[in-house]
Amino acid sequence: MIESVQPSSRTQLLLDGVEYPLPLGAVVLPGFTDAHAHLIGLGEMASKVNLVDATSPEECARRVADHAKNLPAGTWVQGFGWNQEKWGVPQLPTRALLDALLPHHPVLLLRVDTHAAWVNSAAIRAAEITPGWIDGGEVLLDEFGQPNGILVDTAMELALRHVPPITTQQRAAWIEHGIQECLRYGITCVHDMNVEPERLQAMASIAERGGMKIRCEVFLKAQGEEWRAVLQPGPLANNVNIAGVKYFADGALGSRGALLLEPYSDAPDTRGIQLLSADQLAGLAAEPARRGFAIATHAIGDGANRLVLDAYAQLRRSHPDALLRVEHAQIVHPDDVPRFAALGALPSMQPTHCTSDAAMAQQRLGSQRCGYAYGWRNLRRAGLPILAGSDFPIESPDPIAGIRAFAERIDSSTNKPWHIQQAISPQEAIAAFTEWPRLGIPGKPRRGRLAEGYAADVVVLSGDPCAAGTSQAIATIVAGNVAWAWT
């Protein structure tokens, strides 16, 4: 805990008896919180074939084939990060490319948003995937009415359940990798989303060894009522706290699974995928809300955000003190912004989604809807705090990139501002990554401020994170202990 805050003219940083020179212009801030992340994901995705920077489906297939060439036939091959919007022809791929190079290995490649999977015929056979609509998802079909190799949202489970199970040791190694990456970026706390109960054992074992060096607020996977494995929120182990449960109302914008009020501009025959109705969500969330869990619901499209607000209105009547969050809140119709404030629903938003996806969003939504997409200023004008995160590994964990995305909204494809009227100030952006995320946790722990009585979670940066130039973490301090320092 911070006992006092005093000005200093020191040019050296003394940490655990070691002096580090402070560069001119160094900045001390409260430790960053990533309010929507997947802690296991950084390590897990590093173990898969990396397709993030692939510029064509052919390049993806070649990378996967190179990885598989020394693996026995029948071994599942997994990859992560493909994004058809970065290819010369931005079309979804099919199984044909994978079949030509990998006829004997089942292949499962997750799209960058993890809401679609690209599989080959060997995987389709192994998983016994047949044509047909899947509740909450879709198996895309070819001209002959057969699966074409793309599985959207819940349809991915048809293949994922056939992938060899992960051991506790693997989970622990992946989580430890994520912890070190967070510390390197000055992150002292993560809100870990959609955590399966079986992952808790790995977290507890890491904590017992003293390896849980960041604070982890766990939001349990709940769509299938998995959360019932944990009776109530509260501490699980040192630095591991069960905070809430996580639901999904729709899919992602890139795979056209986000639920819109009106049809997609580039696919007028669809409005996206609805994973739950308002009544279903309210019914599912009633029991965990009664037990004190925070309720977090993924909602990207304006249709999904309205649906979630309808569900939360029901919950408020029966559970007036429930802590309610909307994860992503990417497209919120202006009519629904006041409802967020009236219901006390906290928007948990990831600013680099905006800068990474701006060109794609323009195609999916058209100019009018893009005017209120990623509508940070609209929500702030309504008096709402924004809980900021990155959704890593989908985006970089770097909070400084997030702060600049909030304040500048630079489209990564054009290097120009995109709907700058929805930007927020640098001061608000920093608060979104430091002070405000605690509001989305039961009990609102005293974190995120350099003030007496607050947790001694601190990041030392080489420069102003809002200024031009490079700023990076020099040291990361958690609970008064040096958890990481640049050497």
User: What domains can be seen in the chain, in order of their start residue?
Assistant: 32-40+168-481 (3.20.20.140), 43-160 (3.10.310.70)
Nearest alpha carbon to residue 247 among 294, 310, 317, 191: 294
Q: Give me the mean pLDDT over the 269-290 stretch.
A: 97
Cα 475 from Cα 19, distance rounded (Å): 12
| Percent of the chain at pLDDT exceeding 70 | 98
Q: Give me the mean pLDDT over the 106-121 stretch.
A: 95
Of 38-52, 181-195, 340-354, least confident by mean pLDDT is: 38-52
Residue with the two structure tokens 């600049």: 404
Of 25-39, 132-146, 171-185, least confident by mean pLDDT is: 132-146
Cα 65 from Cα 107, distance rounded (Å): 10
Per-residue confidence band for 391, with pLDDT thresholds at 50, 70 and 90: very high
Residues contacting residue 211 through CB under 8 Å, at least 6 positions apart: 176, 179
Res. 12: pLDDT tops 80: no
Give the alpha-carbon dihedral of 107, 110, 116, 117, to 10 degrees. 0
What's the mean per-residue pLDDT of the chain?
95
Res. 175: pLDDT tops 70: yes
Per-residue confidence band for 126, with pLDDT thresholds at 50, 70 and 90: very high
